[in-house]
Structure 1
C-alpha cells in the first residue's frame, strides 16, 4: 500500500471511529432520556429503573456505535463489499435497536403499546419479557458485527 493510501485509510478509520462514537453517544442519550433511565424533568418513568435496564441501554448503545463505525469503515475501504445484503443487515440493525429500545423502556409509558394492550396486560405479559427482548437485541447487533467482520477480513474467515 502506498503512503497516500495508508494516509487515506487512517483518515477513513478516524472518521469511522468518530461516527461510531457519535452514534453510540446518541443512542445512549436518546434512549436514556426518552425512557427515563437518565432522569429528566420532561419524562417521569412509571416502572422502577433496574440495573438490567442500564446494562441493556449501555450494550445497545455500544453495539450500535461499533456497527456504525464498522459499516462506514468497510464501505470506505472496499465499496464492493457493500451489496444488497447490506440493506438486510441495516434492517436487522434497526430491529436490534427497536428491540433494545423496547427492552429498556417503561412498558406502561409507551403510548402505542398501552393503546394496543392496556396497562395490566403490559405489566403481566410484556414486562417480564423485557430482559429476553434486550438479550435478543444485543445478540442480533453482536451477530451482525461478527458476520460483517468475518466477511470483510479474509484472514479471519479461515
Structure 2
C-alpha cells in the first residue's frame, strides 16, 4: 500500500488538532481558560495521545464503495477517550447526573478501564477498516 503524502498530512493534522483541542478543554495542556480540578496522571496523557493518534488514522482511511459509515463507532470511542482522560469533576454532564463525591468515589477509579475500552474500540475500528480496504484491493477472480 502506498502512502499518499496528502492523506498522511491530513491524518497528522487531525491527530495534532485533536490532541491540542482535547488537551486544552480537559486541562491536560495547561492554559488560562480551564483549570483542571483533578491531578494529571501519565495515563491521562497516554489516553489523550492514543485517542488523538487513532482519530488521525481513522480520518484518512478509505472505505470501499457500498460499505456503511462507522462514524458512530468512532464517536463512541472518542467520547470514551474524553471521559477517560478528562477531569470527572469538571464534566458538566457527569456532574449534573451524579454528585462530585460519587464521581470521585465510583467513576474516577474506572477511568483507566474506560480509556482501555475506548482505545480498543478505536483501534479495532481502524483494524477493521484496514481489512475492508485490503479486501477491496485484492484482484477478483475472473469467471471463465
Q: CA deviation at 1:18?
A: 1.6
Q: TM-score, normalised by structure 1?
A: 0.81
Task: Name the SS for the 1:47 alignment partner.
Answer: coil
Q: Find the aligned partners of 2:25 and 2:50 in 1 and give their Cα distance.
A: 17
Alignment root-mean-square deviation, CA: 1.7
Q: Find the aligned partners of 1:106 and 1:16 in 2 and give their Cα distance.
A: 33
Listed as ranges, the gaps of 5+ residues in structure 1 are 1-8, 76-80
Q: Which has the higher helix share?
A: 1
Relative to structure 1, the CA distance from residue 82 to residue 128 in structure 2 (aligned partners, 3 Å threshold; closer, same or farther) is farther
2:16 matched residue in structure 1: 25
The 5-angstrom pairing of residues 58-97 of structure 1 reads 58-70=49-61, 74=62, 81-86=64-69, 89-97=70-78
Q: Find the aligned partners of 1:108 and 1:82 in 2 and give their Cα distance.
A: 43
Q: Give the number of equivalent residue pairs.
A: 136
User: Please, which of 90, 93, 102 is the counterpart of residue 112 of structure 1?
Assistant: 93
Listed as ranges, the gaps of 5+ residues in structure 2 are 139-144
User: Please, which of 131, 135, 138 is the counterpart of residue 150 of structure 1?
Assistant: 131
Q: Find the aligned partners of 2:127 and 2:110 in 1 and give their Cα distance.
A: 26
Task: Name the SS for the 1:85 alignment partner.
Answer: coil
Q: Find the aligned partners of 1:99 and 1:107 in 2 and give their Cα distance.
A: 12
